[in-house]
Amino acid sequence: MNFWRLATLCELCSTSAINDTSGQGSVDEKAIGSLMRYKYFVGLSNVSLSTHKLAKQTTEFLTHSASLAVDGNPNSVDTNCTHTAGEPNDWWMVDLGRVFQVTTVNIINRLDECNCGDRLDGIIYEVGITLDSWEECGRFDGPGIGRLEINITCHRAMYGRYVRIRKLNQNALSLCEVFVYS
Ligand SMILES: *[C@@H]1O[C@H](CO)[C@@H](O)[C@H](O)[C@H]1NC(C)=O
Ligand SMILES: *[C@@H]1O[C@H](CO)[C@@H](O)[C@H](O)[C@H]1NC(C)=O
Ligand SMILES: *[C@@H]1O[C@H](CO)[C@@H](O)[C@H](O)[C@H]1NC(C)=O
Ligand SMILES: *[C@@H]1O[C@H](CO)[C@@H](O)[C@H](O)[C@H]1NC(C)=O
């Protein structure tokens, strides 16, 4: 299903002030502070919107690329997981390709002998219509150790093309798979 919404994008605006409307336009441009219409899609709730999409992360440890969290392989062992270098404010993000209504973000955490699952000790999940309009979907404060699945349902209806997972504490961000659902 496709819907159109009218939005004002600015750093201090929140999507709670947005009203549904019908119309035409596209969000695939930077339009901070201006009124814009964008189309959003509500997908099947059982199909992950992030799988095989383009992913990025701030820093990369060895060959642990950002794409390992959207490769469709939820294996929770070290080599199948992303891994940043552990710089301050490390994040990982995925571009869903177009704006969706995002309801749930599920993470597969590390569950290997290294017990590195504890590195998920404070993360914030954000959704952005653009790369400059992040809004908080939810948080996980940990402890992550021994937790294979960390599922977050956004506080409220959220719309976005980008989903970002940001570390609050400084240590490596390691994600074995990230599933985003509408
Ligand atoms: C949204 O709709 C409500 C009810 O019609 C109205 O009171 C409110 O001003 C509208 N908000 C915006 C941002 O247009
Ligand atoms: C998702 O749900 C649809 C409709 O119920 C079904 O046809 C499809 O097989 C499901 N896909 C997966 C991956 O479970
Ligand atoms: C996990 O990663 C290793 C090393 O890259 C690879 O050989 C293996 O096939 C992956 N496991 C699965 C289940 O894909
Ligand atoms: C997380 O979500 C997945 C997919 O809906 C579900 O299969 C799994 O049981 C959930 N895990 C937890 C711990 O809630």
- Same domain (yes/no): 22, 59: no
49 in any annotated domain = no
Task: Convert the pLDDT of each residue in 104-133 to its tens digit.
Answer: 999 999 998 888 899 999 999 999 988 888
Please report the pLDDT score of residue 56 as a whole number: 97
171 shares a domain with 137: yes
Across the strands, what pairs with 165?
A: 92, 125
Same domain flag for 35 and 107: no
Percent share of the chain, pLDDT over 90: 59
Number of domains the chain is built from:
2
Residue whose CA lies nearest to ligand 1 atom number 6: 19
- Tens digits of residue pLDDT in 27-57: 433 444 455 556 677 766 788 999 999 999 9
Q: Is 165 domain-assigned?
A: yes
Ligand 1 atom nearest residue 19's Cα? 1
- 3-state SS, residue 153: strand
Residue 61, burial from CB neighbour count under 10 angstroms (0-12, 13-18, 19+): middle
Same domain, 35 and 113: no
Co-location of 163 and 133 in the same domain? yes
The C-alpha atoms of residue 32 and residue 101 are separated, in whole angstroms, by 20
Give nearest CA residue, ligand 2 atom 12: 46
Cα–Cα distance measured from residue 102 to residue 48, given in angstroms and rounded to the nearest whole number: 11
Give this prediction's pTM. 0.78
Work out the end-to-end distance of the chain between its first and last CA atoms, rounded to an integer number of angstroms. Answer: 11
Residues 18 and 58 grouped into a single domain: no
What percent of the chain has pLDDT above 70?
Answer: 77
| pLDDT recorded at residue 43 | 67
The residue range of the domain holding 151 is 54-181
CA 139/CA 41 separation, integer angstroms:
24
Q: Is the CB of 44 under 6 A from ligand 2?
A: yes
Whether 60 and 142 share a structural domain: yes
Q: Could you give the 3-state DSSP secondary structure of residue 121?
A: coil
Q: Say whether both 12 and 87 belong to one domain.
A: no
Handedness of CA 113, 111, 168, 52 (dihedral sign): positive
Position 15 in a domain: yes
- In this predicted structure, what is the pLDDT of residue 1? 55
Q: Are residues 59 and 148 in the same domain?
A: yes
Claim to verify: residue 58 and residue 98 sit in the same structural domain: yes
Which of 1-5, 112-116, 161-165 has the highest mean predicted lDDT (pLDDT)?
Answer: 161-165
